[in-house]
């Protein structure tokens, strides 16, 4: 029975590590998309001549949502780093035999930081999707008279 518990613990640790790696990858990917979208928006505004009010509005909202997405991504990465530091302190506390109440408090904090990290990642992705939708609208509005 001990062997099965040990194997399950190993699986859990492996899947937690894989989940963490994928979370970091998605966070970084959307940060890169955000920078690329800023580049596209700059090129778009630079090459176009006159804009209607609706194009200006779509452009402004796209910049705002893209900026918020970028900030959510940065805060997600920073929050994750804080969580890593806290987790390292918990592991060190177990080795140093720190009292249980301190470790439980740190574990609760780490759990909260983990939830905040996921919330920030989802926020980053949703804001980016809104920004992409506005970009599609922007391009359509800009090209509507050209068809």
Q: Residues 76, 124: contact at Cβ < 8 Å? A: yes
Q: Give CA separation, 94 vs 8, 44, 88, 98, 106, in Å.
A: 21, 55, 10, 6, 11
Q: Give CA separation, 81 vs 41, 54, 65, in Å.
A: 31, 41, 24
- Tell me the C-alpha distance between 41 and 47, whole Å: 10
In the structure, what pLDDT confidence band is assigned to residue 67 with cuts at 50, 70 and 90? Answer: very high
pLDDT in tens, 80-131: 999 988 888 888 877 677 788 888 888 899 899 999 999 999 999 999 999 9
């Amino acid at each position: 029975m001990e062997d099965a518990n040990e194997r399950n613990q190993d699986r859990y640790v492996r899947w937690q590590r894989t989940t963490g790696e994928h979370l970091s990858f998605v966070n970084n990917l959307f940060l890169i998309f955000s920078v690329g979208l800023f580049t596209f928006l700059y090129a778009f505004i630079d090459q176009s001549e006159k804009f209607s009010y609706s194009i200006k509005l779509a452009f402004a909202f796209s910049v705002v949502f893209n900026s918020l997405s970028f900030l959510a991504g940065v805060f997600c990465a920073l929050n994750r780093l804080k969580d890593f530091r806290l987790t390292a302190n918990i592991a060190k506390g177990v080795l140093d035999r720190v009292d249980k109440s301190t470790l439980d408090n740190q574990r609760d904090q780490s759990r909260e930081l983990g939830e905040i990290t996921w919330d920030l990642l989802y926020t980053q992705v949703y804001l980016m999707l809104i920004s992409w939708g506005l970009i599609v609208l922007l391009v359509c509005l800009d090209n509507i008279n050209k068809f």
